[in-house]
Chains A and B, each alone.
Chain A
Amino acid sequence: MNISELPRRALVALGLPAVLIVLWWFLSANSTSFFWPPLSSIVEAFPRTWTADPILHDVLPSLARLAAGYLTALVAGVAAGTAIGSSRTLRALTEPALEFLRAVPPPVLIPVIALFAGYTGWTAKVIAIALGCVWPILLNTVEGVRSLDEVLRDTARSYRFGRAATLWHVVLRGSSPLIATGARQALSIGVILMVISELFGANRGLGAAIVQFQRGFAIPQMWTGIVLLGLLGVTLSGLFRLVEHRHLAWYRGLRQAERGV
């Protein structure tokens, strides 16, 4: 890509969003509808609504819970997935049970966890996020470990790689593309659960704040919450792509070489 192409690429990427936003702005400008306030009043309400206090007490704790639950799920899912994927007996033993647990829609877990830990407080929410996120990571890790090239394992063995080295360099490296797929699916489930776990109890958090705006009929403020959640989703998926891009560069290169491009 050379420099002269940049403006054109920027135009292609930003053109439609800009048009849509402009359309939204003008079509809603004289809106008197209760549900669809003018975009201008949403924009105007944004800095008023998300001042330092709600960011500190609603947004950041939500994100911290998301991070705690997601990382727990990542570690547990990869560990259990590697164990299950490496042993055929273990796999046959756990397959139907895992199939069932995966099929339970994650939001249903929240009332169940609430039986143990209540709706309020951190523990219930972090557990809910972790339990929802763990299945796609676990199942994809199992697939990844299973689909490893036998030749690679044998090569590692004949070079007398230690157990730890084989695990790290061969097994985890080799299954990382599939683990990344699972981790990406888990991320969007995590965001959903972060919001849902806060919709129940009347305590603080991003989800709780949005519901309070909605119940108080503070419609422009509610819209700012929706926009904020949207931006959050986009930012997280962008961050994920950045991390994935760096760590799976070897994989893209391999695929390109295989295709002979």
Chain B
Amino acid sequence: MTTATATALTGPAPRWRQPALGVLGLALVVAVVEALPRLGIVDDRFLPPFSTMARALAEQLTVAEFWTALGQTLRGWALGLAVAMIAGIAAGVVIGSVPALRAVTASTIEFLRPIPSVALIPLVVLIYGSRPQSALVLVVYAAFWQVLVQVLYGVADVDPVIRDTARSYRFSRWAVVRTVVWPTAMPYVVTGFRLAAAVALILEITAELIIGVPGLGRAIGVAQSSGAVAQTYALVIVVGLVGVAVNASARAVERRALRWHTSVRRDL
């Protein structure tokens, strides 16, 4: 949408230009990574040429453990995100709909939110060790606040006239939530989902890397400490691609879920 407005302002550019330049940019990065170690500017024990990384990556794709690790990471991420979404939306709608509750909890939410979730690492290590529950606690804690705060903003955005109209028509409490609060809060919820999806992935990988919860993060830690440099980079690239996929699909969900909304908003 933003690219459309940009072209509208500056006149039409060839449609192929943008993606072509993007591919060129990626090719440049690959070329630099290939050249730096080959020209001896960077020690190839630290940064192997890109072709070596690509070979290590291709090798990984044939190993069963790699696919198991990828599955474990994705499962942990999805489960944590789902729990955080459900809890965040439920708590947000309840707190946001009751002004007194909102006022009383505001300071506590503002206090708990910036507590870095990594502060909980020592505690979950003691309680769960390197089992998936450790990662789950961290993921849910970090993602929950993203959702909750967005839902609170969304519920606060409800037009008072519409709310009063619904009330004077004697809508039930549930009907108000379903027909008035939810549509207004929807864009905020979806934004919360997008933020939470990214944060959840970061915490899942962090837990695997540091606590040793099974998954891609642990594989990176193992590869690095055993001196498999090319494999370390290959796994980092995989994690980056997973991140791109998560961001892209979250944005696709956003576009789908809000199709009605942007069309309403455009002529505002």
A107 beta carbon closer than 8 Å to chain B: yes
Closest to A184 in B: B114
CA distance in complex: A210, B6 (Å):
50
**Residues of the A chain whose Cβ atoms lie less than 8 Å from the Cβ of B243:** 102-105
Q: Contact between B105 and A226 (Cβ–Cβ < 8 Å)?
A: no
- In the complex, which range does the number of interface residues on chain B fall in? 35 or more
Q: Which residues of A206-233 have CB atoms within 8 Å of chain B's CB atoms?
A: 207, 210-211, 213-214, 219, 222, 225-226, 229-230, 233
Q: Which residues of A94-110 have CB atoms within 8 Å of chain B's CB atoms?
A: 94-97, 99-108, 110
- In the complex, which range does the number of interface residues on chain A fall in? 35 or more
**Residues of the B chain whose Cβ atoms lie less than 8 Å from the Cβ of A146:** 2, 6
Least Cβ–Cβ distance between A166 and chain B, in angstroms: 19
Closest to B217 in A: A108
Closest to A147 in B: B2
Closest to A213 in B: B122
Closest to A17 in B: B108
Least Cβ–Cβ distance between B101 and chain A, in angstroms: 10
Q: Contact between A105 and B206 (Cβ–Cβ < 8 Å)?
A: yes
**Residues of the B chain whose Cβ atoms lie less than 8 Å from the Cβ of A104:** 236, 239-240, 243
**Residues of the B chain whose Cβ atoms lie less than 8 Å from the Cβ of A88:** 6, 10, 13
Q: Which of B16-24, B58-66, B80-88, B164-172 contacts A (4 or more CB under 8 A)?
A: B16-24
A195 beta carbon closer than 8 Å to chain B: yes
A3 beta carbon closer than 8 Å to chain B: no
Quick one: which of B6, B113, B247 contacts A103, CB cutoff 8 A?
B247
Closest to B101 in A: A16
Q: Contact between B220 and A196 (Cβ–Cβ < 8 Å)?
A: no
Q: Which residues of B188-225 have CB atoms within 8 Å of chain A's CB atoms?
A: 198, 201-202, 205-206, 209-210, 217, 220-221, 224
Quick one: which of B107, B246, B247 contacts A16, CB cutoff 8 A?
B107
**Residues of the B chain whose Cβ atoms lie less than 8 Å from the Cβ of A213:** 122
Indicate whether A195 sits within 8 Å of B26 (C-beta atoms), given known contacts A105-B202, A108-B205, A115-B229: no
